[in-house]
Amino acid sequence: MKTMYKEHTLTKNQQIIFDLIDKSPEPMKAYSILFNVQKKGIKAPLQVYRALDKLVKMGKIHKIESRNAFIACQNSSCQVSKATAFSICEMCEKITEISSSSLSKYLANFKDKDGMKYSKYNLEFFGLCKKCR
């Protein structure tokens, strides 16, 4: 019989860390997360990184690669983290997930010069947000 596991039930550490990131108004860095969850019994970096890895794989959070920071998925339909796009203000560091179906369609269908398609991507746009201009 095909082996099936629970899909989106978070474990204790995953839930603690997800809740913290989800409540944060800005992306959080791993050691800032660690500092904030120490009162809940999570004491070591590895406990944080393990939960982050799983949450990223589930698509519950995304990593902003250029900032080494993690943000909760804004996009309720986004179950698995395969195709992500963000806008980043270089002045105030405000970061927003972009959900544009035309963008995601364009990128999902993009072929390189060898005709190859890539279903997974990460796009980071940089500029100044409205407030900072």
Binding site for DNA (CB under 7 A): 1, 3-6, 9, 11-14, 29-32, 41-47, 49-51, 53-54, 68
58 three-state secondary structure: helix
Query: With CB cut-offs between 5 and 8 Å by kind, which of a copy of itself, DNA, none does residue 13 bind?
Result: DNA
Least Cβ distance, residue 82 to DNA (angstroms)? 19
Q: Which is nearer to a copy of itself, 39 or 113 (CB)?
A: 113
28 three-state secondary structure: strand
CA distances from 16 to 21, 50, 52, 118, 125 (A): 9, 13, 11, 33, 30
Least Cβ distance, residue 95 to DNA (angstroms)? 14
Least Cβ distance, residue 64 to DNA (angstroms)? 10
**Nearest C-alpha neighbor of 92 from the set 16, 27, 21, 44:** 27
